[in-house]
Chains A and B, each alone.
Chain A
Amino acid sequence: MRRTTKLVSPRSRAVQELPDLNLAALGLPMLILTVLSLIVLPTLIGCGGQSTQEAEGDQNTPFASTYAALPSEPTLIVGATVLTGTGKLIENGSVLMQEGRITAVGSNLSAPEGARTIDAAGKWVTPGIIDTHSHLGVYASPEIAPLSDGNEATDPNTAEVWAEHSVWPQDPGFNTARAGGVTSLQILPGSANLFGGRSVTIKNVPSRTVQGLKFPGAPHGLKMACGENPKRVYGEGRDQAPSTRMGNVAGYRMAWAQAVSYRNKWHDYESGKTSMTPERNLQMETLLGVLDGEILVHNHCYRADEMAIMIDVAKEFGYRIASFHHAVEAYKIADLLAAEDICASVWADWWGFKIEAFDAVRENAALLEKAGACAIIHSDDEREIQRLNQEAAKAMAAGQRSGIEVDEAVAIRWITLNPAKALGVADQTGSLEVGKMADVVVWDGNPFSVYSHAEQVFVDGALTYDRNDPSYQARSDFELGIMEQKGVIQ
């Protein structure tokens, strides 16, 4: 039975020292370095409005991350079965976390002086779970119209909107997702539009503001949508374009062509060819960000043939697709996705709710893995995000049953390192490797078992959830008072 939960006592977010990191050695792209330099600074000062310094370059990085890791202490986890996320399983393994980073992974590590030791004998340790597809905060619980902020379904192209401006940090779903081991997630706009807008990648810690959630240095994503939804919303719903799949594709191409002209306009201005400052266009800025490789495309696309079309649209305009989402038919073109190095974010078993989801197979992720493609299990759902480990387990078992060689060490990547790659943060998180953020989950058993729970969840080395300690079970403001009876067994 659930123990009575107490309020988490408000803890001041102590000023954290910047982890001693050689960012260049971590191989971070210049982009991330630049962004980091702008956003890490304010995080040092802590939140709570005590900041005396303003981040520079606000115009270039508006709504900058103010994320600050929660308080942590050096912690050594010992005796666990460790899935590293890099394809390795270490029996009787240890993971050392110091100053928010993973500083050692192996077996027989000894605790540095002053470090807390967690005896995890019989337990499993994995990287924090990462979801490439969530609408937490933009389609929050309760699911009521005033909190429905995920689809700016007023025009087929709303590349100018940013999901982070819709995110309600008090969505109780963030806490339940954390209890499922989720340490990072991408929050996307919905799929009503061809261009839904910018996504935001967050670290899953409680925060009063969305800026306090934003994953430092993570690139924005651009949500694009194929298929039924845009043509239904606009064609069927409003008798306007697009009303067909060819209308969808024309819509993408016209927008990209416009983005190319917009880029040329700025090039001409910057190279002194023209002296008139071009007018800022927020919609075009997002598309330009994609063309410049700074914003990653996340493309809702179910059908194999449509994914192939989208790959060619990307080639025509010179951008990359980071991941297809809801790629129910990805298995049909697993070879193509592998060759193009495009991830496919899929469900373990959702099917049949629409015709483009009719051809689902349980082996989708395993078939992608077999072809050497980047397979990801995503949620798109506030309940499923709480058990992505279970979804990965089902997908793994289905693969094994079909003779595809996938084990826990491989399948854990579908919910850790592969999503990190798709979100452009694989240099920072997604696996248990020295130098990476200490985003770590201790499970009370094999995470591929239905009976296992995330027992402790660390984000940047800080304990953010403990199944056995109510003082580490965060609850949103929304839950207070009206949910109080939950702890009372009648």
Chain B
Amino acid sequence: MKIARSILRPVLFCALFCFAGILSISPLTAEAIAIIGAKIHTMGPAGTLANGTVVLNDGRITAVGTELAIPTGARVIDANGKIVTPGMFDPYSQIGIVEISQVRQTVDGVQSNKRYSASFEVADAINPRSTLIPINRIEGVTRAMVAPSGNVNGDGSSPISGLGSIIHLGATEGFLVERHAALFVSLGESGAALSGGARGNTLLHLREALEDARDYRQNRQRYEAGNRRQYSLSRPDLEALQPVLSGRRPVVARVHRASDIEVALALAEDFGLSLIVAGGTEAWMVADKLAAARVPVILNPIDNLPASFERLGSTLENAARLHQVGVVIAFSTDETHNARNMKQLAGNAVANGLPYEAGLAAITLNPAKIYGLDQSVGSIERGKSADLVIWDGDPLELTTFAEQVFIGGRQIPMVSRSTLLRDRYLELDRAMPPAYAN
């Protein structure tokens, strides 16, 4: 589907009979909008405003507060009785690099070419017209980390999977927010499977790679002149590891078992890595260590079964326990197609002991924090990108839906392939076949 770089007409106008082509409607740029009367969870210093106003202009939030003057010429949206939050930010997805999981040609998150590991990137494979984008953004997902996968159906060639990039879901151009935002690696069982069948190999592999990258940094000229020992990685991989060694590019480690997390912490300490734990089923068991090292955790808070021998300690209280000791947590579904269900995860975490605001932060502000983007997104604050959602009720509730979604100040058309299918089949007793319906 095609979405122009502009504000698009709200779907309400094309409820039943609009065509997919209508998704690219006449451009309206830089419109000033004032959303009034809503309860606003700013997730920022302003806290939660009972009857707040937020003003958007030129893609940014220009004011948020109560009893604000509405700028002249601004379009006013009365959101009385509604709830406004920052857009959801999926900290670990494959949005844009997978269309149909089991149609291999549509999957670009995993590869088997041994020449590239750390340098493998998904950025140029991202399809901003993917059907996953409208389906998820009309339910409030506005940003996502697009990450390479680890080991999928026998594909994958290294415990170092490659580089992830961050996108926004609001346009087909300029959607790449940060290229190469993090390096992804696999530890534990999946890492072992990708490095010769044992955890020890994974660590040898990672340490050798990092040591080689360090040596390469110190001896670039000699390497270029062919006057340096052989490295375990290709030149692009060695380059990709440079920002990792300096701690500027975080390393997201897929790891579940408590002892594996401890090993990851030690590795991070040795090489000065900026570590993020993903998965983290047993993270609660080493929560204090994670908190002390300021290592955030991306998790699925509904994991509560011993799905493998590295996840025996799974519990519904993982999120609450991590939060309690000060670990920054963010939530992600294991299912990219349904990134939209992040809010259900947050609701379940709250139902199992996590404070409400912390649950909301885990799907909005914290992903931005984890990737160092919280200066520009993640909360409703003056100067930040206007990514926000007007909900018809408590966003964490199952019966609540996004009514309107703004990404970079643009109002998103509330249409997706799924809503078009629904509209087509809403009435079955038409004279002509459904194929003529919309």
Contact = CB atoms under 8 A, between A and B. Distances in A.
A450 B101 contact: no
B43 to A, nearest CB: 19
Nearest to B303: A383
Interface string A340-351: 000000000111
B321 A335 contact: no
Interface in B330-355: 335, 337-338, 340-341, 344, 347-348, 350-351, 353
A358 B100 contact: yes
Contacts of B347: 450-451
Nearest to A367: B425
Contacts of B303: 383
B314 to A, nearest CB: 8
Interface stretch (B25-33, B224-232, B304-312): B304-312
B316 to A, nearest CB: 8
Contacts of B348: 387, 390, 450
Nearest to A335: B428
Interface string B277-290: 00000001111100
Contacts of B99: 352
B426 A351 contact: no
A159 B285 CA distance: 46
A483 B348 CA distance: 22
B59 interface: no
A482 B308 CA distance: 12
Contact of B305 (A332, A355, A382): A382
Nearest to B99: A352
A142 B308 contact: yes
Given A1-B321, A451-B351, A334 B428 contact: yes
Contacts of B288: 490
A443 B418 CA distance: 33
A479 interface: yes
B126 to A, nearest CB: 16
B218 interface: no
A206 interface: no
Contact of A486 (B103, B313, B422): B313
Nearest to A384: B302
A363 B428 CA distance: 14
A3 B134 CA distance: 42
Nearest to A389: B398
Given A352-B101, A353-B337, A397-B400, A478 B285 contact: no
Contacts of B306: 141-142, 172, 478-479, 482-483
B136 to A, nearest CB: 11
B425 A453 contact: no
A180 B103 CA distance: 34
Contact of A367 (B320, B397, B426): B426
A105 interface: no
Most chain A Cβ neighbours within 10 Å, of B313, B317, B421: B421
A157 interface: no
A350 B102 CA distance: 14
A141 B305 contact: yes
B67 interface: no
B338 A173 contact: no
Interface residues of A, number: 56
A363 B337 CA distance: 17
B142 to A, nearest CB: 19
Contact of A352 (B132, B286, B308, B396): B132
A394 B344 CA distance: 10
Given A352-B132, A452-B351, A402 B321 contact: no
Contacts of A387: 302, 348
Given A2-B317, A382-B305, A450-B348, A397 B418 contact: no
Contacts of A358: 100, 131
A361 B351 contact: no
Interface string B378-416: 000000000000000000111111000000000000000
A376 B320 CA distance: 33
A335 B312 contact: no
Contacts of B429: 335
A449 interface: yes
B326 interface: no
Given A2-B315, A334-B428, A394-B398, A359 B307 contact: no
B247 interface: no
A102 B286 CA distance: 48
Most chain B Cβ neighbours within 10 Å, of A349, A352, A354, A479: A352
Contacts of A353: 100-102, 335, 337
A465 to B, nearest CB: 14
Interface residues of B, number: 55
Contacts of A334: 425, 428
B10 interface: no
B341 A354 contact: no
Contacts of B101: 352-354
Contact of B307 (A143, A335, A367, A489): A143
Nearest to A2: B317
B317 A453 contact: no
A359 B421 contact: yes
B358 to A, nearest CB: 14
A331 interface: yes
A88 interface: no
A243 interface: no
Nearest to A383: B302
A467 to B, nearest CB: 11
A176 interface: yes
Given A176-B304, A352-B337, A479-B306, A390 B398 contact: yes
A228 B308 CA distance: 28
Nearest to B396: A450
A396 interface: yes
Contact of A362 (B132, B350, B422, B434): B422
Contacts of A371: 428
B425 A482 contact: no
B308 A355 contact: no
Nearest to A403: B426
Interface in B353-379: 353
Contacts of B397: 449-451
Interface in A410-433: none
B421 A451 contact: no
A238 interface: no
Contacts of B286: 490
Nearest to A445: B351
A355 B422 CA distance: 18
A332 B308 contact: no
B339 to A, nearest CB: 11
B100 A352 contact: yes
A381 B412 CA distance: 33
Contacts of B312: 142, 482-483
A451 B354 CA distance: 11
B401 A401 contact: yes
Contacts of B396: 450
A361 B416 CA distance: 10
A173 B397 CA distance: 25
A359 B420 CA distance: 10
A144 interface: yes
A335 B341 CA distance: 30
B107 to A, nearest CB: 11
Interface in A435-490: 448-453, 478-479, 482-483, 485-486, 489-490
Nearest to B356: A451
B313 A485 contact: yes
B302 A448 contact: no
A382 B312 CA distance: 15
B434 A332 contact: yes
Given A144-B309, A451-B350, 12 more contacts: A142-B309, A172-B306, A351-B135, A352-B100, A355-B100, A359-B421, A361-B422, A371-B428, A397-B401, A451-B351, A479-B306, A486-B315
5 contacts: A142-B312, A172-B306, A354-B103, A386-B304, A387-B348
* Shortest beta-carbon contacts, A-B, top 5: A450-B347, A352-B337, A393-B398, A397-B399, A361-B422
